[in-house]
Amino acid sequence: MQNKGAIRLFAILLALVSLYQLIFTFQARRVENKAEEIAQQKAGDNPELVSEYRFQYLDSMKSEVVYNFLFGLREYTYQECKEREINFGLDLKGGMNMILEVRVADIVRALSNYNQDAKFNEAIRLAREREKESTRDFISLFSEAFEEVAPEGRLAAIFNTVELREKIDYNSTNAEVIEVIREESRGAIDNAFNILRTRIDRFGVAQPNIQRLEQAGRILVELPGITDPERVRDLLQGTANLEFWEVYNQNQIFEALMAANQMIAEVNALKKSDVDTADVVPEVQAEESAEDVALLDEIEGDSLDTGDEQRVESLFSALAPSGRPSSPVVGLATSRDTGKVNTYLAMEEVQSLLPRDVEFMWTVKPIPGSDAQYWTNQQFDENDELFQLVAIKVSSHDGRAPLEGDVVTGARAVTSQSGAYEIEMSMNGEGAKTWARLTKANIDKSIAIVLDGYVYSFPTVQNEITGGRSSITGDFTPQEAKDLANVLESGKMPAPARIVEDTVVGPSLGAEAVDAGFKSFIWAFIAVLIYMILYYGFKAGLVADLALVANMFFIMGVLAAFNAVLTLPGIAGIVLTIGMSVDANVLIYERIREELKAGKGLKLAISDGYRNAFSAIIDANVTTFLTGLILFMFGTGPIKGFATTLMIGIATSFFSAFFITRLVYESLLKSKVDIKFGSEWTKNLFKGAHILFIEKRKFFIIISAVIILVGIASLGVRGLQQGIDFTGGRSFVVRFDDPVPATEVQSVLTETFEGATVEAKTFGGDNQIRITTNYLVDSDSESADQEAETKLYEGLKQYVGADVDRDTFLAEHRMSSQKVGPTIAADIRNKAGYAIFFSFAVIFLYILIRFRNWEFGLGALGAVAHDVLIVLGVFSLLYSIMPFSMEIDQSFIAAILTVIGYSINDTVVVFDRIREYRGLYPKRDLKEVFNLAMNSTISRTLNTSLTTLVVLLVIFIFGSEVIQGFVFALIVGVVVGTYSSLFIASPIAFNFIEKRIANKAKKKK
Q: Supply the pLDDT for residue 870.
A: 94
Sorted by where each begins, the domain ranges of the chain are 4-85, 99-237, 242-401, 506-675+693-718+826-1004, 729-820
Query: Cα separation of 929 and 926, whole Å?
Result: 5
pLDDT higher at 87 or 386: 386
Question: Between the CA of residue 11 and those of 85, 329, 547, 622, what are the distances in Å?
Answer: 22, 58, 12, 21
What's the distance, CA 499 to chain centroid?
15
Note the pTM of the prediction, 2 decimals. Answer: 0.65
**Torsion sign, CA atoms 941, 942, 947, 951:** positive
User: Does 746 have pLDDT greater than 90?
Assistant: no
Rounded Cα distance, 113 and 105, in Å: 13
- What CA dihedral angle connects 844, 848, 853 and 854, to 10 degrees? 40
pLDDT 10s digits, 520-570: 778 877 888 888 888 888 888 899 889 888 888 898 888 888 877 777 677
Residue 704 pLDDT grade (very low, low, confident, very high; cuts 50, 70, 90) = very high
User: Distance between CA 782 and CA 813 in Å, rounded?
Assistant: 24
Find which of 576-585, 776-785, 808-817, 874-883 is predicted with most confidence, using mean pLDDT. Answer: 874-883
365 bridge partner residues: none
How does pLDDT run across 196-218, given as a tens digit for each residue?
776 676 555 556 777 777 666 77
Kindly state the average pLDDT of the residues 584-594.
83
User: For residue range 920-977, what is the model confidence (pLDDT) as tens digits?
Assistant: 888 888 888 898 888 888 887 888 788 888 878 887 887 767 678 888 888 998 899 8
pLDDT over 90 (residue 146): yes
Q: Please report, as a single letter, which amino acid is at residue 786.
A: Q
**Residue scoring higher pLDDT (216 or 692):** 692
pLDDT digits (tens, 9 = 90+) for 404-456: 877 888 788 888 877 888 888 888 888 899 999 998 999 888 999 887 788 88
Residues paired with residue 450 on neighbouring β-strands, in sequence order: 243, 455
Mean pLDDT of the chain: 80
> Radius of gyration over alpha carbons of the chain, in Å?
34
In terms of average pLDDT, the best of 226-230, 710-714, 728-732 is 710-714
pLDDT-derived band at 6, boundaries 50, 70, 90: confident
According to the model, what pLDDT value does residue 78 have? 86
Mean per-residue pLDDT, 324-344 = 86
- How far apart CA 57 and CA 31 sit, in angstroms, is 9
- Note whether 735 and 850 are within 8 A (CB): no
Cα separation, 909 vs 742, in Å, equals: 47
The answer to whether 209 touches 222, Cβ cutoff 8 Å, is yes
Q: Residue 728 in 3-state DSSP?
A: coil
Residue 824: pLDDT band (50, 70, 90) is: low
Closest-CA residue to 316 (of 286, 284, 288) = 284
Highest mean pLDDT among 172-186, 229-243, 484-498, 813-827: 172-186
Residue 714 has pLDDT above 90, yes or no: yes
Tell me the per-residue pLDDT of 346-378, one tens digit each, with 9 for 90 and over: 888 899 999 989 999 998 878 877 666 656 656
The answer to whether residue 690 scores a pLDDT higher than 60 is yes
Level-2 CATH architecture, domain 506-675+693-718+826-1004:
Up-down Bundle (1.20)
- What integer is the mean pLDDT of 79-88? 81
Quickly state the pLDDT bin for 685 (edges 50, 70, 90): low
User: What number does CATH give the domain 729-820?
Assistant: 3.30.70
Least confident of 467-476, 531-540, 784-793, 807-816: 467-476
DSSP SS3 for 376: coil
Question: Which pLDDT does position 395 carry in this prediction?
Answer: 84
What pairs with residue 899 in β-bridges? none
Provide, rounded to the nearest whole percent, the portion of the chain with pLDDT above 70.
Answer: 85
Give the strand order in the sheet containing 469-476: 408-415, 421-427, 469-476
Please check whether the two domains, 506-675+693-718+826-1004 and 729-820, share a CATH topology.
no
Q: Give me the pLDDT at residue 276, please.
A: 44
Q: pLDDT tens across 240-250, in order?
A: 567 899 999 98
